Amino acid sequence: MDFTKVAALNRPTEKLVAIELTDAQIEAIIVAGLTAPIPENLHDKFHITFYSEQEDAKGPINIVVSLKDGEEAESSNYLFAGMIMCQMQLATTNSLLAYQYITEDEGFARISSPEAKKEIGIPANYTPIQQLRVGYPENRVDSRETHTLSSLMERFN
C-alpha cells in the first residue's frame, strides 16, 4: 500500500477477532519498531517483545515497548518510545491488520512483576511503558472511510 493510503487508514480499532497472525506478519511489525527513526545511541535503551494472552495463540498479540531501568528521568525517551510505537502502527495498518492501545495502569501492572516479565520475555532491568494489541479487525482496514487531502489541509487554515 502507498504511504498516503496507509496514513489515511491508520487509526485504532474497537474490536479485534481471534484469528492467528502469521510469523511473517508479527516479524514485519517488530522489524518496523526496531528500525524506528530514533537516535542510534538510544536503541539499547528500549526492548520490544510480544506475547499472547492465550497460550499457544498468535492472535491477537500484545506488543510491549520497555525502557531500560534508570532512563525514566529523561522525558524524551517517552517521545522515542512513541516513535517506535508509531512505526509499528503504520506497519500494522500496511499489513491490513488493526491495533488497539493498551493504556490502563492495570495492563502495565499485570506485566511489570518480575515473574510476568520473565514469562513474556521482558528483561529484568527494563520497565514496560507502552503496549499495543494487534490482530485482525472485525471490519476490513481497507474499507475504512479515509479523509481527502483537501479535508486534511483545512485543519491548517
- Per-residue pLDDT of 52-103, as tens digits, reads 877 666 679 999 999 998 877 677 888 999 999 999 999 999 998 999 988 7
C-alpha cell at 24: 511473517
Please tell me the predicted confidence (pLDDT) of residue 141: 73
Q: Which of 14 and 147 is assigned the larger pLDDT?
A: 14
- The CATH number that applies at residue 110 is 3.40.109.10
What is the pTM (predicted TM-score) of this model? 0.84
Please tell me the predicted confidence (pLDDT) of residue 108: 78
Q: pLDDT class for 11, splitting at 50, 70, 90?
A: confident
Q: How many C-beta atoms lie closer than 10 Å to residue 130's C-beta?
A: 21
State yes or no: pLDDT of 1 exceeds 70. Answer: no
Q: Which of 82 and 104 is assigned the larger pLDDT?
A: 82
Q: pLDDT class for 157, splitting at 50, 70, 90?
A: low
The number of domains in the chain is 1
State yes or no: pLDDT of 20 exceeds 80. Answer: yes
Domain extent for 139: 3-156
C-alpha cell at 7: 496514513
Could you write out the DSSP letters of every residue in 76-128? HHHHHHHHHHHHHHHHHHHTT-EEEE---HHHHHHHHSHHHHHHHT--TTEEE
Please tell me the predicted confidence (pLDDT) of residue 2: 80
